[in-house]
Chains A and B, each alone.
Chain A
Amino acid sequence: MSSPTPLPLRVLWNAFFWTYERATWQYDLMVIAILAFVWLTPPDWLGDPTASGSGPIGWLIEQLR
């Protein structure tokens, strides 16, 4: 008998092999993750050719120092 797939692996597989419709909570979660990456990642980390600065994460790190 095969053992069931562990939950984290199942979540990762479902995120990769995307079969969810729009306007579901899984879709919302993915949108939040994307927006967090786009807006929170410091442009300097990505070497953004048109934006500069350290962004909100950089600002937070500065404040914590």
Chain B
Amino acid sequence: MTFTGLIGRICLYPLELIIRASVALRIHPNTLTFIGVLINFAAAWALARGRFVIAGVIMVIANIFDYIDGKVAHELNAVSDFGGFWDSVIDRFSDLSLFIGLIFLYSSLQRTEYVMITALAMMFAIMTSYTRARAESLIKKCKVGFMERPERIVLFMIGAFTNRMAAVMWVILVLSVFTVADRIIYTYRELRETRQAVA
């Protein structure tokens, strides 16, 4: 087993308990998704105030909701197209709110260069999601590139808990640019292959 695989397994145990509790209480998965985004707004506020450790703790709680909604939907047989759509939309609000919190912090510290770095990281984080969603309307699957949402969230938490948010913003920016490029290249290749197969 790999190192990251082991960490995943360790984290899964308490999550299973929370999922079981949510199923027993029959909480609708869309409600869990919505609670998650509200908690993420609180994390964004903590980031904006420069309270990184509190922001980190709130992010952990918010992402528990984010993780379990799909599992609870499965357990309750409440999986729906709208649920998937709602989850994706709410995820974008969660993503954006964290970046906006940091932009507020850096602008209040009058650090224009980090306002720009964070804004660019935010742009490419959103484009990472958009390129995949758009690509998958043309091709079957477009799951290439390293910096997806789970990686971004974990990096935000690491940055918050260890006060290394600047380094984290650089990593998110550079790897998100690569991810967007990967998805464009991959989609181009797939579409070219389909075109050649037809011709």
Residues of A within 8 A of B (CB): 16-19, 22-25, 27-28, 30-31, 34-35, 37-39, 41, 43, 46-51
Contact = CB atoms under 8 A, between A and B. Distances in A.
B118 to A, nearest CB: 10
B155 A34 contact: yes
Nearest to B144: A19
Interface stretch (B38-46, B130-138, B162-170): B162-170
Nearest to A33: B171
A60 B116 CA distance: 31
Contact of A38 (B3, B109, B168, B185): B168
19 contacts: A18-B178, A18-B182, A19-B144, A23-B8, A25-B2, A27-B2, A28-B4, A38-B164, A38-B167, A38-B168, A39-B167, A48-B164, A49-B109, A49-B114, A50-B52, A50-B105, A50-B109, A50-B163, A51-B164
Contacts, number: 83
Nearest to B178: A16
A18 B159 CA distance: 23
- Chain B at the A interface: mostly helix, strand, loop or mixed? helix
Interface in B103-120: 105-106, 109, 111, 113-114
Given A23-B2, A50-B105, 13 more contacts: A17-B182, A22-B4, A23-B1, A27-B2, A27-B4, A28-B2, A37-B170, A43-B164, A46-B170, A47-B166, A49-B105, A51-B164, A51-B166
B144 A24 contact: no
B83 interface: no
Given A17-B182, A34-B171, A50-B165, A23 B114 contact: no
Contacts of B162: 38-39
